[in-house]
Amino acid sequence: MSRLSDLYDQQGQSPWLDNVRRDWIQDGTMKGWVDRGVRGVTSNPTIFQKAISGGDAYDEQFASLLASGTSVLDSYWEMVVQDIRDTLAILRPVHDASDGVDGYVSIEVSPLLARDTAGTSAAARHLHDLIDEPNLYVKIPGTAEGLPAIREMISLGNSVNVTLLFSVERYREVMEAYISGLEANTGDLSKVSSVASFFISRVDTEADKRLDAIGTPEALALKGKVAVANAQVAYEAFLETFTGPRWEALAARGARVQRPLWASTSTKNPDYPDTLYVDTLIGPDTVNTMPEKTLDDFDDHGTLARAVDADLAGAHAVLDGFAAVGADLADVTATLEDEGVASFSKSFDDLLDSLTAKASDLS
């Protein structure tokens, strides 16, 4: 057995792969990851930008679509949907064997809709109708404008992956949207699933920059600690939310908890351990989606122990210390949300630009 399998079997955390590539789907690599213990797959506009622009795996389908009169934008979605369908088929046995706990594959609505509630709802409904598989997650940004769309999708019985979460406060709002959506759903709640993607390493990147600017010994001592503490406090909020009479009434109808999904868990700072954002966030009813290098690193030398709630007092102390040195976590997370929306939008625009250029070469 691999550490990836043990992570789920022993600790209740599901390791997912944060990448989709057509060549991996076709050559068996994706299936190989599942055999090693990967239990789900996530994608985002940046991942598809790299996959489609980085080689010729999509050229044949793209040329065929263009020849049939399909626009560049519609061709993009056709290619992405094919990859998602094929990956869903690879993960379906995991979904079935886990009774719907895992085996999910995520596709994101256009990042250009991140501040558009109605547009996000329409796009999410369209993707669910178009693909119509039980192990599909449609990713909706956890912006203020995304909250009503999340609630609507859950009320309709459509499973979602809420993405771009950085603050505990917004995460609480997302959990409320999920629970109120379940309460508005008159159907079989056991068929509805959701994860909330809470971003990790980017928090340290931004927090460390501010701590360096402050420069005091107290500030510098907090470097590399804020992101993990922020996520551990988020897990505390998860435990608080999915308990008590309100939740128990939904659980009695078959409802599943909305699991926290730790995203952006590759280590950006080479001074930090390569499995920092995995080892410190292990706990039941969670997911960690990792790029392939982080999966390999954890499988090789990760630490298998429950850690996410081992020292919640210490996590709060780190966040209190961050405020005490004059840093503003709310401003950090607001900045990261804006940058995340902008980054995914840029990847989307860059991809369409590169496809437009490639269309000229193929014509």
Report CA 81 to chain centroid distance, whole Å.
Answer: 18
Token pair listed for 206: 């931004």
Rounded CA separation 105/123 (Å): 17
Q: How far apart, in Å, do the first and last CA atoms of the chain sit? A: 50
Per this entry, what is the length of the chain? 363
DSSP 8-state code for residue 109: P
SS3 347: helix
Among 31, 50, 139, 358, the one annotated catalytic? 139
Question: Is the Cβ–Cβ distance between 175 and 160 less than 8 Å?
Answer: no
Question: How many CB atoms are located within 10 Å of the residue 100 CB?
Answer: 17
Cα dihedral: 59, 61, 67, 72 (round 10): -80
Which residues touch 148 (CB under 8 Å, ≥6 apart)? 117, 121, 177
Which residues touch 74 (CB under 8 Å, ≥6 apart)? 65
**Phi, psi dihedrals of residue 260, rounded to the nearest 5°:** -70, 135
139 is catalytic: yes
Which among 165, 105, 101, 157 is positioned nearest to 129, based on CA atoms?
Answer: 157
Give the residue numbers marked as catalytic.
139
